Amino acid sequence: MNISALLISIVGLFIMVSPSAYGQLFPLDDKKLISVLDDELSGESAKRNLEYLSRLHRMRGSKDYQKAVEFIQTQIKGYGLENVELLKIPADGKVMYGTQKSRPAWDVEFAELWELENINGKWGPTNRIGNWEAVPLVLAQDSESGEVTADLVDVGTGRSDKDYANKNIKGKLVLTSSQPGAIVPLAIAKYGAAGIISYAQNQPTAWYGENDNLIRWGHLETFAKDKTFAFMVSLKQARDFQKRLQAGKTIKLSAKVTAGQHPGHYDILTAVIEGADPNLKNEEIAFTCHLDHPRPGANDNASGSVTIMEVARALKKLIDEGKIERPKRTIRFIWSPEIEGTTVLLNYRPALAANIKAVIHMDMVGGGPETKAIFHVSRSPKSLPSFVSDIGEAFGMYLNEASDKFASGEAVDNPVVSLEGGKEDLHAVLGQFHMGSDFQVFSEGSFRIPSIYLHDWPDRYIHTNYDLPANIDPTKLKRSGFIGAASAYVLANFDASSAADYLALFKHQVLLRTATMLERSHHLNAADQENLKFHHWEYERGVANSITNFGKSDVKLQNEFHKYIADLEKTIGKGIPQSGENKVVYIRNEKVKGPISVFGYDYLEDKYGAERTAKLRVFSYRGLWGSGGEYNYEILNLVNGQRTITQIRNAVAAEFGPIPIEIVAEFLSALEEIGVITKS
């Protein structure tokens, strides 16, 4: 049967099992839950909390970060949450937590950048270009104290010696298009520059060059041997500098910075709504977000931080008022620094990692139309098949349909809108896997906790001074909270008796994923098509089996799930994995838990060497549906003491597109050398 015929067969099967509306899919037959959540959740309340957090420059360990934690702690205590706990985990730049070297706290007291003019033979300040008090993003993260008055020299990218040829750099300030940390080894250490002025255009999207007034987030390396300071300027300011320098004019700047690192703590706040079932209350469904980010950081990620606050408030109030039952499992809420804080937490509190059954992660969930944001309800990676993702997608389907009807003028019982928010349809993208936030720590092979990841991407103001509360939509906050709260409540009550209701949703989701698989197979040769089919059915069996992680399932019912997969398999073909000679099997070192690259510290670079790491081909490889970051993440996730290198290659090839086995073997060999994995 050819691909077109197979797709027609899939459509026929889809019509047979799919209800007329997504609202009829499990778990959306619970109209009471939908109604009470729509009534109670408040996008306005969430946005009021966001407006406060957006006033704070919430860098890890800083005074403003601590103010943010204190604010949330006060609020959630007022909501009546239980077991409110503020963990203060030491961070001194030395202690390790799994793959994360703790980064010391960083605070700023003062930073200004002025341009000077020669008036009557005397240089004096005339134009203040950067003021940390007004716009904290003007100072690159991890800048150190310094004071200098010097000429400005344009070094372009500043990443090669030719950028400095025939230029007098020593004691000067250098203008660069690169992130400040990338040019320190040459500009500061080798050529003696006094400081850096950067207009790095990070986080590129389709819009990122259109507004040249944006000041973007800059970074110096936390553990760099050579310390310095760096100011960030807008593209407009940089072009003005360049135009004048090219005309032969002298630009003299005065910079003063009072800032630096110091021993501190990872402040991680957590609280719970305790479960009611004595046999299940030790199992937890966790809400996570990252609280840190520069001011204003409204969508990224004050939005996620306040939305899980609002979920906590709404669920606790509904329970206290008797409108919903207390869930069987405990629901936990966690506020921490992005990625590094999560890696630290799960290593510092291994019992916590062991108890969490699923995570609902929110990172950028409030972008209004001005941000050009596209909302996603994303899945765990293929290395971690789980029905958990289907639950989140089911509520995303409901809101997609309900919001579309509402925006079109049709009557809808629960469109989930805020009085002060927009009334647009949601258009959530469902069922994809994306990297880029804390959920990838939970889903990583060390912890294997399935996740639902709610996020906006792209957002044209991410990591800039225009990520403002004015761009946040209360309706979007409420809808994000609705998907999260409903998913958490269903998962907190999911047990063996729930599996029968889930069967219809499972069939629906399998067909959607199968259609995607068949469409992707168009791009592959015959051998890779067979490999893709084989791993597709392996994944679907894994999703079906994952139900047993939430309670022993009835054998007859479990057979129904597998029979459905088997019947589709007969129609489409079972597939054949690609053969290969590399039968080496690796096992993960249980003492090294977490991703190999996290924020501000790269475990692989530290142990293997930066130059050698840069030569590993996996990092520059781009496949049909993934790039180096996805490949290296999943390659390590798939190491389990059973899969051969050939089998790992086949699995990532099915997920992200074909990749030469030599690249996979090279990367695994590097991980073996530094002790992350060993031969089984």
pLDDT of residue 9: 53
pLDDT of residue 21: 53
The answer to whether the CB of 433 falls within 8 A of the CB of 381 is: yes
Domain end residue (candidates: 212, 243, 262): 262
Cα-based distances in Å from 382 to 379, 432, 629: 9, 10, 15
Counting beta carbons within 10 angstroms of the beta carbon of residue 183, is it exposed (0 to 12), middle (13 to 18) or buried (19 or more)?
buried
The answer to whether the CB of 252 falls within 8 A of the CB of 116 is: yes
pLDDT value at 679 more than 90: yes
> Which of 2-16, 50-64, 564-578, 634-648 is predicted with the least confidence, judged by mean pLDDT?
2-16
- pLDDT tier, 23 (very low <50, low <70, confident <90, very high otherwise): low
- pLDDT tier, 16 (very low <50, low <70, confident <90, very high otherwise): very low
- Exposure b/e, 521-534, CB count within 10 A at least 16 = b: beebeeebbbbbbb
Same domain flag for 442 and 365: yes
Spatial separation of the C-alpha atoms in residues 35 and 403, rounded to whole Å:
15
Question: Could you tell me which residues come within 8 angstroms of residue 611 by beta carbon, excluding any fewer than 6 positions away?
Answer: none
- pLDDT tier, 239 (very low <50, low <70, confident <90, very high otherwise): very high
Q: In the 8-state DSSP scheme, what is residue 444?
A: S
Spatial separation of the C-alpha atoms in residues 96 and 86, rounded to whole Å:
20
The answer to whether the CB of 664 falls within 8 A of the CB of 475 is: no
- Exposure b/e, 139-150, CB count within 10 A at least 16 = b: bbbbbbebebbb
Domain end residue (candidates: 216, 235, 262): 262
pLDDT value at 58 more than 90: yes
In sequence order, what DSSP letters do the residues of 135-178 get, joined into one string? -GGGB-BT---EEEEEEEEE-TT--SGGGGTT---TT-EEEESS
Domain end residue (candidates: 243, 262, 281): 262
- pLDDT tier, 357 (very low <50, low <70, confident <90, very high otherwise): very high
Same domain flag for 310 and 435: yes
Q: Average pLDDT of 441-454? A: 97
pLDDT in tens, 572-622: 999 999 888 889 999 999 999 999 987 789 999 999 999 999 999 999 999
pLDDT in tens, 262-306: 999 999 999 999 999 999 999 999 999 999 999 999 999 999 999
Same domain flag for 72 and 112: no
> Which of 120-124, 424-428, 573-577, 614-618 is predicted with the least confidence, judged by mean pLDDT?
120-124
Same domain flag for 293 and 362: yes
Same domain flag for 180 and 74: no
Q: Is the dihedral of CA 630, 636, 637, 642 positive or negative?
A: positive
With respect to residue 30, please indicate whether it lies within any of the assigned structural domains.
Answer: no
Number of Cα atoms under 13 Å in the Cβ half of residue 292: 21
Same domain flag for 338 and 406: yes
Same domain flag for 653 and 524: no
pLDDT of residue 597: 84
Q: Where are the alpha helices (DSSP H) in 552-602?
A: 555-572
Amino acid occupying residue 527: A
The answer to whether the CB of 131 falls within 8 A of the CB of 112 is: yes
The residue range of the domain holding 150 is 105-262
Same domain flag for 507 and 465: no
CATH at 164:
3.50.30.30
Structure tokens at 156: 């372009």
Spatial separation of the C-alpha atoms in residues 13 and 6, rounded to whole Å:
11
**Mean pLDDT, the chain, integer:** 94
3-state secondary structure 212-228: CCCCECCECCCCCCCCC
Same domain flag for 373 and 325: yes
Same domain flag for 311 and 423: yes
With respect to residue 380, please indicate whether it lies within any of the assigned structural domains.
Answer: yes
- Given the structure tokens 């209800």, which residue do they identify? 19
